[in-house]
Structures are given as structure tokens and as C-alpha cells.
Structure 1
Amino acid sequence: MKTDINPITGNVNMARRSFLRYAGAGVATAAVVGVTACHKDRIVVDPGGSSDIGSGDIGILNYAYALEQLEAAFYTQVVSSPYSGMSSVELTYMTDIRDHEIVHREFFKAALGAKAIMSLTPDFSKIDFGSRQQVLATAKAFEDLGVQAYDGAGYLIKDANYLLIAGKIVSVEARHAALISNLISFGSFVPDDQIDSNGLNKSATIAQVLPTANAFLKTKVTAQAFNYNG
């Protein structure tokens, strides 16, 4: 799928047909957007600048949207200011991941419509983007966190269309995680710190994930309205 990326803002322009094809045959996406538009869940915006994801399936989508915003912003910065010694192959990898994350971000934004949380402002002040070690370590942290987040929240999704799309996206995120791990240590596509004793990927709850994500966000994300019991 061809996307046009604005190198300054990191925004992506997708033809509607390509967008629907990405989501899977168009029909599933239309159903997702339709259900979202009529959903009654409320998004809470704190006067202090934080955003609450809301509840139910809308809350899960906003949760994913927040993480995709963070990842898209990070890789946009990585590509716009490559670390010292970045090879052309590594730049290609980072650019591909950036494009994936931007498409994910824009997908959730469009699907959520008026129910979406605000656009978040990242805080990467503690990251030295000139250091390969720091960039890859942060990329690993974000990718591992993202996969754990999807795995940890998947069982809470009620709508089959949402679950289908979440499954498609987390599989891409897992590929990213494997690639980044391999760049850090060749051959470590499945690092021990992400797999449990049963050979399954580790998962994390919303309450466990958000503090880590918020450490890299000026605009904080909360889940005060989220009901884990549905």
C-alpha cells in the first residue's frame, strides 16, 4: 500500500480505498466505524491536559491509539535525525516501521472519530537520538510494551471486528519487536525477557502499561473510566 508521508509532521495521506483494504476487505472496517459512531461511551478530557481513554471497546481502541501515537512520533524522530552510524539498511527498516506505525495511528483516529482521545504530545527529552544504543533500546521498550499491551487487553474486547483488527495489528508489532531485538543482538528474534515458560508472549494490563507510556508523553493518558469487568 502506498502512503504519502509528510516528513515534517509525520502525517500520512491514504486513499480511502487503500485504507479500507488495509483494515481487511473493507467490510470489517465499515462495521467498526459504524459501531464506533453510535457507541455511547464517554471520553473524559481532564482540564490539566490529560486524556482518559473511556470504557468498553472504545476505551480499548483509544488505549491502542495512544500507544500508536507514541510509536509513530518516536520513529518519525528516528528517521528525521538518524543516529550516528545508521546504515542504509537500518534506515530502511526504521522508515518501514515508521510508516506502519503512522498507518496504525491514522486507522484508529479515523475509526474512533469523535470518540478519539486528543492528539498526544511526546516527551523524548531523555532520549539521545544520536546514540544507536539508546534509540534501539527505546525502540525495543516501545515495541515490547506494545505487544504486551495488545495481548493484555485483547480478552476485554467484545466486538469481533475490533478483535480481528487488533489481532492483525499486534502481529505486525510483534514483527517489529523481533526485528529491533535482532538489531540489538543478532539472532535474538525471540528474546527471553518477552517469553514465558510456556513459550507464550508476556502480556501486561492497562494499569501496568500506561505509567511507562506516560513517561514519554507530555499529554498524560489515564484509564479512570475503564471498567475491567465490562
Structure 2
Amino acid sequence: METEKLFEKDDVNLARRSFLRYAGAGVATIGVLAAASCHKDKNPGPTTSTGVDIGAKGDLAILNYAYALEQLEAAFYINVAAHMYTGATADEIALLTDIRDHEVAHREFFKAALGTNAIKSLTPNFSAIDFSKRDSVLAAAKAFEDTGVSAYNGAGYLIQNADYLLIAGKIVSVEARHASYIRNLVSPGSFADATILDVNGLDKQQTIAQVLPIANTYLTTKVSASNYGYVAS
């Protein structure tokens, strides 16, 4: 219950001030995204008592996919900042709090851009994470960040609108910075090792059908992408 309360209690004013800075986008960009979303792929997929579907193939589905992942990451870091693990250094506290603000900003960006086309707010389930222990928190953070980067990389080619693609590129670059920092906390020097880079030195990518089962491990509200080959069980 504590996790759900924290997830619902947003610092929306902070988020709306922050996302323009962290996403590198202005109000005009949101206007472009919102206007474009009004002309196609109207409405996300069906909502049930236990889950949501990102909807028919198209840019809105991919935006909702990103929105779902950003909701999860924001909820996680809100919990991290509220229950900082034992032994956290001043630098760790400051930087993890910054990451929280970035993720809340990303979440609010997608929420604003999608408007009435957005999927509902998701309920997280972090019962497998011990927020009082550094190793547990950082292992989860590493998994979230690596998965987030690979998710954006894997979905980029599905985005048709150039404005959407530009924003996705800006956001994934921030996520990659997060991943590098977290990885270095877990194991110094592992910020860009062979587990995340291919032989050409490129970040790895995962499909929607590969990413959502991982995300759903930490969600009570399960997310499906039936038009992209994945239905949550």
C-alpha cells in the first residue's frame, strides 16, 4: 500500500517545471505532438480491471508504450528517494534524486503529449525490492535502466512521426546516462561493457514483446501490446 500511495502522490508542479529542461523540449513541441495525436490512431487499447493494452499499431501505441515504462521508472525512483537505502552517500542521494526528477519529468511529458489518448495510471508492485538495501535497489535500478534503453532502441524504427522520433532520441540519451551511472555504482567500470553493447559498440535493443514481460514483473496493472505480439498473462 505504501508503494501505491507514493506512486499516486505526484509532485506535478516539479515535474512540469522539470520536463522542459530534461527532455529538451518546449511547449511548442508538446503542441506538435498533441496536434498530431488528434489525427490518427485515436484511443488507446482496451482497459480492464487488471491491465491495459497500448492499442492499435501506430505512433500513439508507441508513445503509450514509452509512457507505461516511464510510469514504472518514475514510481521506482519516487520510492528510492523516499526510502533511501542504508549507507547512501551524499552523492548517491543527490544523483538518485535527480534521476527521480528526470523520470517524473519524462512521465509527465508523455502524459501531456498523449492527452486523452493516454493509457491509465499504472499500479506498481515493488514487493521483490528491499528499498533499505543498497544492493537490492541498485540491482533493480540497473535492470530498469538497461531495459529502458533497449526498449527505446527497439521501438525507434516503429515511430513514423519525425517529432516523436526526435523526442524519443532525446529521452533515450538521458536514460543511457542514468544506466551508465547506475552501472558504475554497481560495478565500477561496467558503464559500457559487453553485456549491453554489441560487437560494433552499439547499445542493444529489445522488442516490445521482450520488454513488457520484464516490466510487468513490477506492475500490478499488466500492460499488453496485442498488436505487437504480446498479451500479458
TM norm structure 2: 0.89
Contact 2:15 2:108 in 1 (8 A): no
SS of 1:58's partner is helix
The aligned residue for residue 132 of structure 1 is 134
Following superposition, the deviation at residue 191 of structure 1 comes to 2.5
SS of 1:76's partner is helix
1:216 to 215, 218, 221: 218
Q: CA-to-partner distance for each residue in 1:144-189, whole Å, 9 max, x for gaps?
A: 0000000000011000000000000000000000000011112222
Instruction: Provide closer, same or farther for how the CA distance between residues 195 and 219 of structure 1 changes in structure 2, counting only shifts above 3 A.
Output: same
CA distance in 1, matches of 2:138, 2:17: 34
SS of 2:226's partner is coil
Counterpart of 1:10, as a letter, is: D
- Which one is further off, 75-84 or 18-27? 18-27
Counterpart of 1:187, as a letter, is: G
Contact 2:19 2:102 in 1 (8 A): no
SS of 2:123's partner is coil
The aligned residue for residue 162 of structure 2 is 160
1:59 equivalent in alignment to 2:61: yes
The aligned residue for residue 88 of structure 2 is 86
Contact 2:83 2:132 in 1 (8 A): yes
The aligned residue for residue 36 of structure 1 is 37
CA distance in 2, matches of 1:19, 1:84: 29
- How many aligned residue pairs are there? 223
The aligned residue for residue 11 of structure 1 is 11
Instruction: Provide closer, same or farther for how the CA distance between residues 144 and 15 of structure 1 changes in structure 2, counting only shifts above 3 A.
Output: closer
2:184 to 160, 174, 182: 182
1:172 to 171, 174, 178: 174
Counterpart of 1:179, as a letter, is: Y
CA distance in 2, matches of 1:80, 1:191: 31
Percent identity, aligned pairs only, is 56
CA distance in 2, matches of 1:27, 1:144: 30
Contact 1:82 1:91 in 2 (8 A): yes
The aligned residue for residue 3 of structure 1 is none
TM norm structure 1: 0.90
Gaps of at least 5 residues in structure 1 are: 1-5
Counterpart of 1:12, as a letter, is: V
Following superposition, the deviation at residue 10 of structure 1 comes to 3.4
Instruction: Provide closer, same or farther for how the CA distance between residues 50 and 177 of structure 1 changes in structure 2, counting only shifts above 3 A.
Output: same
Contact 2:59 2:159 in 1 (8 A): yes
Contact 2:41 2:58 in 1 (8 A): no
Q: CA-to-partner distance for each residue in 1:131-154, whole Å, 9 max, x for gaps?
A: 101100000000000000000000
Q: How does 1:88-167 map to 2 (within 5 A)?
A: 88-167=90-169
Contact 2:59 2:160 in 1 (8 A): yes
- Which one is further off, 22-31 or 166-175? 22-31
Following superposition, the deviation at residue 62 of structure 1 comes to 0.3
Instruction: Provide closer, same or farther for how the CA distance between residues 191 and 121 of structure 1 changes in structure 2, counting only shifts above 3 A.
Output: same
CA distance in 2, matches of 1:8, 1:56: 29
**CA root-mean-square deviation:** 2.2
